Chain A
Amino acid sequence: EDQVTQSPEALRLQEGESSSLNCSYTVSGLRGLFWYRQDPGKGPEFLFTLYSAGEEKEKERLKATLTKKESFLHITAPKPEDSATYLCAVRSNQAGTALIFGKGTTLSVSS
């Protein structure tokens, strides 16, 4: 069965304190790993898609990396506006076009 696990559940950082969020997955044939950002009461906003081990994508203070078993979302020198829930999802051969989501990591950045 396809499965996505995110850790930690919650993360508190001081402004400028870099850290990483983890997404480990077990899928029957990875067809893409996705990162989304979700603000309270809103729909998830697309950040990155990664397709193969070794691939990296960057956007402002965020950098996503992928290995054969997990993905990391690195946050460099975060600001309070980076506070949100970050969701990881995978598409597998078994799931068809639907995405399977982890439970998310809620990030709080204080000034």
Chain B
Amino acid sequence: DGGITQSPKYLFRKEGQNVTLSCEQNLNHDAMYWYRQDPGQGLRLIYYSQIVNDFQKGDIAEGYSVSREKKESFPLTVTSAQKNPTAFYLCASIGGKKLFFGSGTQLSVL
């Protein structure tokens, strides 16, 4: 089945540690996105990529980094500079003018 796969579903980060969230899609979509969702808040854009080897900062990029070496993959690294990383992270891709989402990764701080 075509779709967006995020892993892991749950992730725990120790203080000072960098962690990487995986996002893979087999929809052949060019553009991919990372959103952060906090309880009672809307989805906020972290980074997006319109094409391989190119990406742009969203509204809350500080403390995060991304890469886009393959069309299918858009991993997000939460660095130690992100002081409040606890949130639900959603990866998405766009096709037919619609945004399709993965099932999300819940990141918590130990």
Residues of A within 8 A of B (CB): 4, 9, 32, 34, 36, 41-46, 49, 87, 89, 97-104
Contacts and interface: CB of A to CB of B under 8 A. Distances in A.
Interface of B is mostly: strand
Nearest to A51: B97
Given A87-B43, A102-B42, A103-B41, A43 B48 contact: no
17 contacts: A36-B101, A41-B104, A41-B106, A42-B104, A43-B6, A43-B92, A43-B101, A43-B104, A46-B98, A46-B99, A89-B43, A89-B99, A98-B48, A99-B43, A101-B44, A103-B40, A103-B42
Interface of B: 4, 6, 31, 33, 35, 40-45, 48, 50, 58, 88, 90, 92, 94, 97-104, 106
B7 to A, nearest CB: 13
Nearest to B33: A98
Contacts of A97: 31, 48, 50, 94
B100 A46 contact: yes
